[in-house]
């Protein structure tokens, strides 16, 4: 864990998330999630990532495996690229639902365990993640912004633009790689009880 100052100086509080230098570390955590979700803000189509791709482009790739909630006007950008998000709603709406322990999720199969927030203005993302930090303690949150967002459980450590772009390429490579299979556990051989002795004849 790194000691990192929040990008927005006023976002200082006693409990801050973990800042990571390498986005690939976040990918490894996301791949282990049982019920992941991605919440996307209005800036996703304006942020260049790598090789001419925007943040929106790589999120569409992730959306093939992970459900995506499109907020604000980013829904049109998704649809223009031929991708239909799992849900269209305001960021406040999805954040409120995520903080409700009785909510069964978009597919009625239960709450989520890891949620990614990205493509938003910093002050908005800070406030949404603050709510989840205080009212959804069962939930792990990840921020993919290149700035340290302390209200997320995990995020990045104020990276330079080039560092973030290279890191996000590694992030996508890791997400595309097959998950490591757990080593098969050895089956315990049940111990056999000794056969009961027959009572001897007198």
For the stretch 41-60, pLDDT in tens is: 999 999 999 889 999 999 99
Average pLDDT over residues 71-93: 96
Domain count, the chain: 1
| Residue 25 in this model has a pLDDT that exceeds 60 | yes
For residue 156, give the CATH number of its domain: 3.40.50.1220
Q: Is residue 193 part of a domain?
A: no
Residue 139 CB neighbours (<10 A): 19
Q: Is residue 170 part of a domain?
A: yes
Angle separating helix axes 161-176 and 55-62, nearest 10 degrees = 20
Q: Is residue 188 part of a domain?
A: no
70 touches 78 (CB < 8 A): yes
Of the pLDDT bands very low, low, confident and very high (cuts 50, 70, 90), residue 184 is very low
| Residue 187 in this model has a pLDDT that exceeds 50 | no
Q: What span, in angstroms and rounded, lies between the C-alpha atoms of 112 and 22?
A: 24
Q: Is residue 194 part of a domain?
A: no
Q: Is residue 114 part of a domain?
A: yes
**Between residues 119 and 185, the one the model is more confident about:** 119
Q: 98-140: per-residue pLDDT in tens?
A: 999 999 999 999 999 999 999 999 999 999 999 999 999 999 9
Prediction pTM value: 0.83
Please give the residue range of the domain that contains residue 73: 19-176
| Residue 94 in this model has a pLDDT that exceeds 70 | yes
Q: Is residue 201 part of a domain?
A: no
Nearest CA to 42 out of 1, 84, 88, 98 is that of: 88
Q: Is residue 119 part of a domain?
A: yes
Q: Is residue 7 part of a domain?
A: no
């Amino acid at each position: 864990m790194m000691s990192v100052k929040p990008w927005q100086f006023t976002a200082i509080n006693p409990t801050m998330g973990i800042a990571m230098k390498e986005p690939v570390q976040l990918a490894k955590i996301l791949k282990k999630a049982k019920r992941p979700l991605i919440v996307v803000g209005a800036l996703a189509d304006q942020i260049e990532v790598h090789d001419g791709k925007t943040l929106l482009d790589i999120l569409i790739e992730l959306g093939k495996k992970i459900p995506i909630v499109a907020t604000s006007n980013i829904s049109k950008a998704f649809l223009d690229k031929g991708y239909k998000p799992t849900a269209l709603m305001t960021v406040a709406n999805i954040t409120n639902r995520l903080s409700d322990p009785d909510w069964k999720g978009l597919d009625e199969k239960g709450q989520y365990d890891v949620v990614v927030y990205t493509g938003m203005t910093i002050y908005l993302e800070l406030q949404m993640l603050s709510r989840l930090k205080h009212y959804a303690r069962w939930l792990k949150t990840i921020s993919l912004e290149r700035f340290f967002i302390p209200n997320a459980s995990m995020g990045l450590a104020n990276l330079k633009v080039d560092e973030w772009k290279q890191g996000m390429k590694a992030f996508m490579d890791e997400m595309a790689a097959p998950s490591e299979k757990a080593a098969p556990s050895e089956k315990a051989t049940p111990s056999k009880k000794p056969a009961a002795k027959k009572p001897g004849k007198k």
